[in-house]
Structure 1
Amino acid sequence: MAKILLNKNNLFYNLDVISKKAASKQKVAVVLKDNAYGHGLVEIGTLAKEFGIKKAVVRTIDDAIKIEKLFDYILILAEKSFHTYSHNFHIALNSLEDIDKLPQNSNIHIKVDTGMHRNGISIDELEKAFLGLSKKNINITGVFTHHKAADELTADFFWQKENFSLVKNSVKNICEKLLLPIPAFHSCNSAALFRTENFDEDFTRVGTAIYGYLDNAGVFEFPKLKPVMSLWASKLSTRILKKGQSIGYAGTFTAREDMRVSTYDVGYGDGFLRLNERKLYTTPKGYKVLGRVSMDNLSLDTDDEEVCIFDDVRKLAKVHDTITYEITTTLNPNIEKEII
Structure 2
Amino acid sequence: MSHANAALTPRQRLHIAQLIVDDGWAIAHAADYFHVAWPTAQKWARRYIELGETGMADRSSRPLTHPNQTARPLVRRIIHLRTTRRLGPVEICALTGVPSSTVHAVLVRECLNRLSHIDRRTGEPARRYEHAYPGSLIHVDVKKLGNIPDGGGWRTVGRVQGGRNRAATPGKDRSRSRDVLMRHAYVHTVIDDHSRVAYAEIHDDERAVTAIGVLQRAVSWFKDRSVRVERVLSDNGSAYRSHAWRTACNDMGITPKRTRPYRPQTNGKIERFHRTLADGWAYSRHYSSERVRRKALPAWLHYYNQHRPHSAIGKLPPATRLSSNLPGHYT
TM range (shorter): under 0.3
**TM-score, normalising length from structure 2?**
0.23
User: Which structure is larger by alpha-carbon Rg, 1 or 2?
Assistant: 2
**TM-score, normalising length from structure 1?**
0.23
